[in-house]
Amino acid sequence: YGDHRDLHSFPTRRSSDLLQDAYQQVAHALELQRNFVADVSHELRTPLTTLRGNLGLLGRTPPIPPDEQADILMDMVDESDRLIRLVNDLLVLARADAGPGLALEEVQVSPVLEEALRQARLLEPARNISLQAESASVWANRDALKQVVLVGLDNALKHSPADVRLKVFRQSGQVEIRVEDDGPGIPAEKLERIFERFYRGEENVTLPGFGLGLSIARATMEAMHGTVAMESEPGKGSVLVLRLPEV
């Protein structure tokens, strides 16, 4: 009449093991939070230090020459714009992390990609950015999807001097959006970290940005129940792959 073995003979996890797992998860979350705060502080320090130094120069007695004042004011405008971009990126990231706040609906993919493409072409009119799209609908947030595509296009345009291709395919109940470039590619050891917040790689420190774009893309895609991945090999370019459930 069935297995009469004592239920206590089956392996079970002790409460102490479960508590240890919970402790490790909390410790890991706190470590990530500390690292994030440290990174934000580092990014804020440079523009704030520059602004404070320039204010000191403008307050000198006797005043510095007018042409130097004009240069300093331009520097202050640039640093203020940098701070605004960082704060905006952090707000977007916070909203994406919140997840449930995103209103999802049926979204036609092609019109969203065409809008993103027009915007990217305005910023880079000399670049060839092509679109090859199958007709498809996804369950997503329209504005959030457009922003993720713009992140992908911006990333490709920064790292590749050649053409950029935007493609859409339907397969196995999902819609796949691919942003392809012919840039130098990414080594495997750096590819593992590409979605980390503030990660840019040593060779990219001179490029504009904070290393938050791909982190925003990942958090936003997860909030829409989708996925994002980067496929790349050195010398063979890179492909940002976005996948969302098809409607």
pLDDT per residue over 2-59, tens digit each?
A: 555 555 555 556 777 888 888 887 876 677 667 667 667 766 777 888 899 999 999 9
* pTM, to two decimals: 0.68
Q: What is the mean pLDDT of residues 204-230?
A: 80
Contact 165, 130 (CB under 8 A): yes
> What is the structure's pLDDT at 50?
86
Gap between the Cα atoms of 91 and 81, Å rounded: 15
Cα–Cα distance measured from residue 122 to residue 105, given in angstroms and rounded to the nearest whole number: 28
Kindly report, residue by residue over 194-214, the tens digit of the pLDDT. Answer: 888 777 665 554 555 567 888
* Whole-angstrom distance, CA of residue 131 vs CA of residue 110: 9
Convert the pLDDT of each residue in 67-114 to its tens digit. 999 999 998 998 888 788 778 777 777 766 665 667 899 999 999 999
Band (164; pLDDT cuts 50, 70, 90): very high
Backbone φ and ψ for 232, nearest 5 degrees, come out as: -160, 150
d(CA 177, CA 228): 10
Distances (CA, A) of 98 to 107, 130, 131, 243: 21, 33, 31, 20
Per residue in 48-71, pLDDT tens?
A: 888 999 999 999 989 999 999 999
